């Protein structure tokens, strides 16, 4: 994993960027996503599993966990201040998320090149049980997040 360091101004800018992205994301707002922590190349988000998020087996629909991970991955890349869009993202589920579980997605950018970010996300519940892991790639578009 690459080591990224941030000065205080950069941390504040990354936090402001993530807050702005969340404010402009109605789907994430519907999910009740909250920002727990932000650092350069990292972002931890959380939400509570509610009844509309359940599937026919009475556990969280996989799309809910994937959406949380996808948002965390995108936000972790945004901490560098550059517009980047997810171009590939895969998930492996290890345990189900149950009704009223708090679920946490910790995303980390593990590599970046001239045009791509690569990141991973670990999703856990409030008992620190691993629910899923993901890996994704993001394409760096020209332009900075304003």
Task: Read off the tokens for 27.
Answer: 């789907």
Check residue 63 and give its pLDDT: 97
| Contact assessment for residue 38 and residue 51, using Cβ atoms and an 8 Å cutoff | no
- Kindly indicate the confidence band of residue 144, based on its pLDDT and cuts at 50, 70 and 90: confident
Check residue 10 and give its pLDDT: 80
Over residues 64-82, the mean pLDDT reads 96
- Kindly indicate the confidence band of residue 139, based on its pLDDT and cuts at 50, 70 and 90: very high
Check residue 145 and give its pLDDT: 78
User: To the nearest whole number, what is the mean pLDDT of the chain?
Assistant: 93
Check residue 6 and give its pLDDT: 62
Q: How confident is the model over 1-55, as pLDDT tens digits?
A: 344 556 788 888 899 999 999 999 999 999 999 999 999 999 999 999 999 999 9
How is the chain classified by DSSP, letter by letter?
-------HHHHHHHHHHHHHHHHT-HHHHHHT-EEEEEETTEEEEEEE--GGGB-TTSBB-HHHHHHHHHHHHHHHHHTTTEEEEEEEEEEEE-SPPBTT-EEEEEEEEEEE-SSEEEEEEEEEETT--EEEEEEEEEEEEEEE--
| Contact assessment for residue 2 and residue 110, using Cβ atoms and an 8 Å cutoff | yes
Q: What are the extents of the domains in the chain?
A: 8-144
Q: Which CATH class is domain 8-144?
A: alpha beta
Looking up tokens 């996300």, which residue turns up?
121
Whether residue 58 is predicted with pLDDT greater than 90 in this model: the reply is yes
Check residue 107 and give its pLDDT: 98
Over residues 73-89, the mean pLDDT reads 95
């Amino acid at each position: 994993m690459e080591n990224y360091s941030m000065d205080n101004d950069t941390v504040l800018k990354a936090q402001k960027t993530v807050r702005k992205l969340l404010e402009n994301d109605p789907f994430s707002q519907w999910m009740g996503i909250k920002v727990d922590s932000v650092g350069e190349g990292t972002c931890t988000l959380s939400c509570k599993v509610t009844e509309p998020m359940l599937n026919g087996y009475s556990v969280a629909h996989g799309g809910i966990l994937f959406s949380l991970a996808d948002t965390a991955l995108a936000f972790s890349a945004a901490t560098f201040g550059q517009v980047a869009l997810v171009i590939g993202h895969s998930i492996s589920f290890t345990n189900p998320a149950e009704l009223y579980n708090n679920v946490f997605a910790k995303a980390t950018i593990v590599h970046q090149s001239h045009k791509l970010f690569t990141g991973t996300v670990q999703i856990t519940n409030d008992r620190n049980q691993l629910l899923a892991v993901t890996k994704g790639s993001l394409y760096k578009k020209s332009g900075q997040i304003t």
